[in-house]
Structure 1
Amino acid sequence: MSLVKFRKSPLENLLAPDFLDFNTNNLFNDRFWLKKINEPALNIKEKKDEFEIELAAPGYNKKDFEVTIDDGCLNITAKREESKEEKDENYTRKEFSYSSFERSLQLPESVSGEKIKAKYDNGILKFSIAKKEEAKKLKPKVIEIS
């Protein structure tokens, strides 16, 4: 006779837990998991004088974005609504879609919150965030390993 681990969710019985990195008990109730699906990809590059951030958000227009800085945090919100209506003698067809996302990034103390530029082009929202003068002068500290 072999022992079988009891699982509360029927989905857990079908999936091997060795291949899952999330809790299947909350698979459909976990808002974190659902939010990650709609979260756009993000690249952050550190250069000598600035940070460059690229956010992939195809299909949006410039007016769909709202970008704010609050308490050292860069908040990016986008909402898009689209609707189409087709009328004929025998029918009326209406279609609509709605999509949105929100990303927040904690800015390091080495950047100036006043010197941020944003540009949206070909589905990529680009930010250029200037570093403070004192942060530009600092050289990396080498740590000796004993």
Structure 2
Amino acid sequence: MTLVRFTGNPLIDRFFDTDLFDWTSRNYSKTNTTLPSVNVKENDNEFGIEVAAPGFDKDDFKIEVHNDTLTISSEKQEEEKESDESACYTKREFSYQAFTRSFTLPESADGDKVEAAYKKGILTVTIPKKEEAKPKAPKVIEIK
């Protein structure tokens, strides 16, 4: 099986990013907004994506699978808080911008069984592998 790289849409990340040394655009989209950092991992049974998104609630995320593309997005907006009028910010760096990250799933991924959990600022998405893609133990043939 060969994975095919799709480069037609700059908003879609490759599932396995091999360009580890591109420091110029590491965490920024084409519109210069920050994107949450992600870790992508694989073992014999599943693929995993970890999204660093502190300050969000699990209801802020939307996860979809369509045409072998997994899309993770959030629409969280900065909340207007009542504040003490005598106090003002000297520095304000918290930013809750909407984002979308998309990943092309390999043929071995079972997009119908994707699960997600959000704990301590990390969104974890688990994509199981199809049964036929999992490694099987060697079969010993008895000689008659």
After superposing the two structures, state which structure 1 stretch, 115-124 or 79-88, moved more: 79-88
Question: Between Structure 1 and Structure 2, which shows a larger proportion of helix residues?
Answer: 1
Counterpart amino acid of 1:64? D
Q: Work out whether 1:61 is the aligned partner of 2:66.
A: no
Structure 1 unaligned spans of 5+: 1-19, 23-30, 140-146
Tell me how far 1:137 sits from its aligned partner. Answer: 3.1
Distance (whole Å) between structure 2 residues aligned to residue 50 and residue 87 of structure 1 = 50
Q: How many residues align?
A: 104
User: Which of the residues 106, 109, 112 maps onto 1:108?
Assistant: 106
Distance (whole Å) between structure 2 residues aligned to residue 72 and residue 47 of structure 1 = 19
Kindly report structure 1 stretches of 4+ aligned residues shifted beyond 4 Å: none
Tell me how far 1:138 sits from its aligned partner. Answer: 6.8
Q: Work out whether 1:34 is the aligned partner of 2:29.
A: no
8 Å Cα contact 2:44/2:135 also seen in 1: no
Question: Between Structure 1 and Structure 2, which shows a larger proportion of strand residues?
Answer: 1
Tell me how far 1:127 sits from its aligned partner. Answer: 1.1
After superposition, the CA RMSD in angstroms is 2.7
User: Which of the residues 68, 91, 100 maps onto 1:72?
Assistant: 68
Q: TM-score, normalised by structure 1?
A: 0.62
Distance (whole Å) between structure 2 residues aligned to residue 83 and residue 44 of structure 1 = 34
- 1:67-91 deviation digits (Å, cap 9, x = unpaired): 1111110101112221112487xx9
* Higher RCO (CA-CA < 8 Å; seq separation 6+): 2
